[in-house]
Every structure is written in C-alpha cells, then in structure tokens.
Amino acid sequence: MQDAFERIISNYIENRVGQDNDFLDAILANHLKTNLQHLFSNNQFKSAGIGNNAKLTTDKSIRSDVIYWLDKAHNNEHENSFFDLMDAFVIYLNRTCYTGITGYEFHYAYYDTGSSYKRHLDQFKDNQDRAFSMIMYLNEDWKIEDGGQLCIYHKDSEQYVSPTNGSCVFFKSSELEHEVLLSHKPRMSITGWLRTG
C-alpha cells in the first residue's frame, strides 16, 4: 500500500500529477464497480452540478455525468474499505509531506456514452478548502478508441490519462485545469477531493 502512496507522491513532485496504475486492487475495484452499477440501475444517481452553494447549476453542455456521493453513514462494506484506504493515504501524506489534510469527499461518477466534462478547475473561487483532486477508475479493458480520457492542461503541454481499472490520478485542485473528453462507452470512476477545511 505504501509503495502506491510513494509512487503517487513521487510522480506528483516530478510532474505536478501523481499517478499509480494499481492504487485500487482488482478485488476492491470490482466490488466498487458492482456497487456503482447497482446504485445506477436503481436510479440513485443525480445530474452533476457546476459551482457550489447558491451558485450551483446544472448544464449538460458543460458537464453531462451523473454522480452519487459516498458516505460512511451508508455503512457499505466496500465503500468502507475504500475509506480505510483513503484514511491511510491521508495519514501518509500528512506525515511525509505536511499537507494538513483534515478530511475528504468522494462520489461515484458515471459518464454514459456521449458524455463529457469541459475544461475546468476543481477549486471554487469563494472556497479554497479543496487542496488535492483524486480520481480512481473502475473500467476494465478500456481501449484508446473508447475515448473518455482525462486531459490535464500544463503550462506548455497537455497530458492525457486513460481511465483504466484501478488506476489513480492526483493533483492540486487550484492549479491544473482539466477536462473529461467525450466517452464512447460508459465510463466509471470515484472522484473527489482532499480538504484542508
């Protein structure tokens, strides 16, 4: 587990984007995917919004995924295993990098065929609590022609990340604009933020 944490941190220091291809082990990823699909088939997902609080709006021309917020109060054993992993990562991150993370929030994200999310920044203008963004993917046998890549905009280049099963992407929420390119088949992930407030 700590090897994966260290790979993410090392990649982040080198490239401003931390990555690990096996952050979620295959068994946990499969359980989380099955749970996501069950919730989706039972109409538990909501259209994702843009902005926060009173400024929250829904615009499918900008963002067309649907989401379901994870919560320890659900007492779902697989979500709880995911939270255990995140608790361990936060402890490691705070101990080794002095990041001051005090909490997190995560949701399932489902992009149906033809869905995308235009270029954006994850931190709100009136709230800087989100310190780091994290995305963990739940897609087996994903191919380049399936689309749905995460495009991260660096100052002089673009970085493309395929949403492959069990992999993780980590970056500072206030620094890197990014977008989810058009997906040609259903695309699933757990997306969220490590917070300092």
Q: What CATH number is associated with residue 65?
A: 2.60.120.620
pLDDT truncated to tens, each residue of the chain (197 aa)? 889 999 999 999 999 999 999 999 999 999 999 999 999 999 999 998 776 554 556 677 899 999 999 999 999 999 999 999 999 999 999 999 999 999 999 999 999 999 999 999 988 766 789 999 999 999 999 999 999 999 999 999 999 999 999 999 999 999 999 999 999 999 999 999 999 98
* pLDDT attached to residue 51: 61
High-pLDDT (> 70) share of the chain, %: 94
Residue 9 in domain: yes
Please state the pTM of the whole predicted model. 0.92
Question: Cα dihedral angle (76, 167, 150, 184), rounded to 10 degrees?
Answer: -80
Domain limits for position 35: 2-50+61-195
- In which residue are the tokens 């989401």 written? 67
Residue 46 in domain: yes
Residue 10 token pair: 């090392």
Note whether 102 and 47 are within 8 A (CB): no
- Each residue of 147-196: pLDDT tens digit? 999 999 999 999 999 999 999 999 999 999 999 999 999 999 999 999 99
* pLDDT attached to residue 172: 96
Domain count of the fold of the chain: 1
Residue 104 in domain: yes
Residue 55 in domain: no
* pLDDT attached to residue 5: 97
Residue 45 in domain: yes
* pLDDT attached to residue 197: 81
How far is it, in rounded angstroms, from Cα 115 to Cα 183?
A: 6
Residue 98 in domain: yes
Residue 56 in domain: no
* pLDDT attached to residue 48: 83
* pLDDT attached to residue 149: 98
* pLDDT attached to residue 37: 98
How far is it, in rounded angstroms, from Cα 190 to Cα 107?
A: 6
* pLDDT attached to residue 123: 81
